[in-house]
Structure 1
Amino acid sequence: MSVSRTLLGLLEPGAQHGYTLRQRYDVWFGAARPLKSAQVYSTLQRLQRDGLADLAGVAAGEGPDRRLYAITGAGVYELDRWLQEPEVPEVSATRRALFAKVVLALHSGRPARALLDAQRQAHHRRLREMRVARQRGDLMAQLDADFEMYHLDADLKWIDGAEARLDRLAAHIKETDHDHSA
């Protein structure tokens, strides 16, 4: 997720302080990884440098001055562009690692089926956690849990498909190894 574009979206309704932006971000999007204050302020400085946000005012407080940021016309244009641009479907790093582990396990003669079984169990544990989160959470948490659960379900289907093909995949890897070593 683009933190900078998300902050632009949070700024669009009106000028806000970095502290307020961080709080709103964490409530809506920070369940998995809350933002640190330093990241909010460094992102706001980059947005300002790039002409997408501007300093709308400074208020003195008990601590450091509180800076008020506002989105610029160029920022609204960039936000519109980002919102309308479909996300590129991408296999996550976890899925790529799992694929690599299966291939390397077969390549080395290790038990790939055991690896897939262990991963299946980990996915089922995470699904149970997400079901609890969905039942206990507000609408935002439910939607987030659904997103993860659907992806976990797709991973489980891939695990089942990979397991069904292990013998053929092992033969293919052995054949490929033999062809490249000759």
Structure 2
Amino acid sequence: MERYGDELMRTAYLLVKDKQAAEEAVMDTFIQAYRKIDQLQDPDRLKSWLLRIAVNRCRMKMRAWSWSRIFPLPHVEQMIIEEEPGPEALLMDAWRNEKLSEALLKLDYKYRETIVLFYYNGFSVAEIAEQTSSNENTVKARLARGRAKLKDMLEEQEDGNETGAGANVHESKA
């Protein structure tokens, strides 16, 4: 739990957008892993196996609930930030990570899941395809579309901040 708990929590939170639901998914993951440890064929793939269980638990939670908009946790950027050498660099990274996290949480689940597995967990396209029961071309397309949507959202936020209309940027999309 200590070894993979933080990574599973970050992944679960980025997928379900709710701290309590993410904690439940992670606990369910460890319970299921404990019960089915005999099904782990390659101990070297423990991390991948746990992440697969966690992603499946998150999918089950997403299916069980009717999600409209869930507000992100304050300071979600702290879950993503790595240590940086000066306060100015840390502040800028925190701001960028906050904006990226906000945009990521607004993506459709299929794009968010693919991006989280690829960029935050370091899975290859083939591993994501296997985990999501998709083909590799679908994964590549989701990565490309997800990146394009993120880029558009971030540019839209940036344009809104420059014109002073940052508060109204997303009203038309609600």
TM-score (norm 2): 0.28
TM-score (norm 1): 0.28
Q: Identify which of structures 1 and 2 has the higher relative contact order when contacts are C-alpha pairs closer than 8 Å and 6+ apart.
A: 2
User: Normalized per residue, which structure has more helix?
Assistant: 2
Higher-Rg member (1/2): 1
